[in-house]
Amino acid sequence: MSATATMDKPATTTSGGTTQLEQLKRFTKVVADTGDFSTLKEFTPQDATTNPSLILKAAQMPAYKELIDKAVSDSRKGSAAGDALIAKIMDEILILFGSEILKIVPGRVSTETDADLSFDTDGLLRKGRHFIDLYKQNGIPRERILIKIATTWEGIRAAEVLQKEGINCNMTLLFSLPQAVACAEANAKLISPFVGRILDWYKKSTGKDYIAAEDPGVVSVQEIYSYYKKFGHQTEVMGASFRNKGEILELAGCDLLTISPQLLGELKSSNEPVERKLSPDSAKTDKIERLALDEKKFRWLLNENAMATEKLSEGIRLFNADATKLRKYIGEKVRG
């Protein structure tokens, strides 16, 4: 697919003194990639997303000590002990952070399932339903929650079931078109292709630097966006994991973009014009062909894509490592 295939030239916007962040919000739903409440208040995103790494960072900040203490105190009231107690506190922390985030953002929050369940469809189903139940106990309807699941074959199958139950899913750690197509065919609510991590792999593999328009992560999301719009898939595309502002601007017009506080700040501090690069109408003229998938084809195509295979497994390991650190941190709190 051509990197320019989805460009929408007539939709160019001049700044008129408006920040790039405000201009971007005209084309794209902006999501904050953080667990820090003050950041959310500063940049006023529509949605927010968290992951184990972000929650670990937030949990260790003095500003959130009261929230962590509440999770520990509330969970101790039951009969759980040992590892079961720590697991219960972990879930409670995720839901408390999500609940507080939803007091700030008008839209949705994404809450991540355990990385060590990435290949366990039944385990993911139990966890997704459990999160929805916990949010319900906090007075939050399922419409405001996205359950984050790694885009493995097993994760996609879990999302397919959860979606039929009215539980919306955000498919994360997504690095390839076959993953995206399988998610759309399972009617997942949203996918999160990881732009920056794709770039990381190619830079390391080739030793090259890439301008934003030729960035492999950007091109991947353009391809996925075009595929979805051309073939009428309702699954939302949310570009994620950005390394620089240029990647974001090349994807202006994408359904959603989840952006770190640093890059939100860069967008807010600039009044340069932002041009819409992606639109449904121009995507429908793309020459991309429909991809037929079953489990065997999915696994083969993923295996043949070294970048996607390596970044998916690495991402699961990293999220699990941070979840382990968070469990250790909680364990120290419980013993203390």
252: domain CATH number?
3.20.20.70
Inter-helix orientation angle 261-268/20-27, to 10°: 110
Beta bridge partners of 169: 147
Three-state SS annotation for 46-109: CEEECCHHHHHHHHCCHHHHHHHHHHHHHHHCCCCCHHHHHHHHHHHHHHHHHHHHCCCCCCCE
* 30 in any annotated domain: yes
- Cite the active site residues: 148
HSE-up (13 A, CA, CB side) for residue 33: 20
Total number of domains in the chain: 1
Q: Is the pLDDT of residue 14 over 80?
A: no
pLDDT at 194: 97
Q: Which domain holds residue 284?
A: 9-335
How many Cβ atoms sit within 10 Å of the Cβ of residue 142? 17
How many Å apart are CA 46 and CA 60, to the nearest integer?
26
* 241 in any annotated domain: yes
pLDDT at 11: 47
* 287 in any annotated domain: yes
* 290 in any annotated domain: yes
Average pLDDT over residues 307-335: 93
Average pLDDT over residues 91-103: 93
* 306 in any annotated domain: yes
Binned at pLDDT 50, 70 and 90, residue 15 comes out as low
* 125 in any annotated domain: yes
* 163 in any annotated domain: yes
Taking a C-beta distance cutoff of 8 angstroms, is the pair 23, 248 a contact? Answer: no
Average pLDDT over residues 252-281: 97
* 2 in any annotated domain: no
Q: Are strands 256-259 and 145-150 parallel, antiparallel or unpaired?
A: unpaired
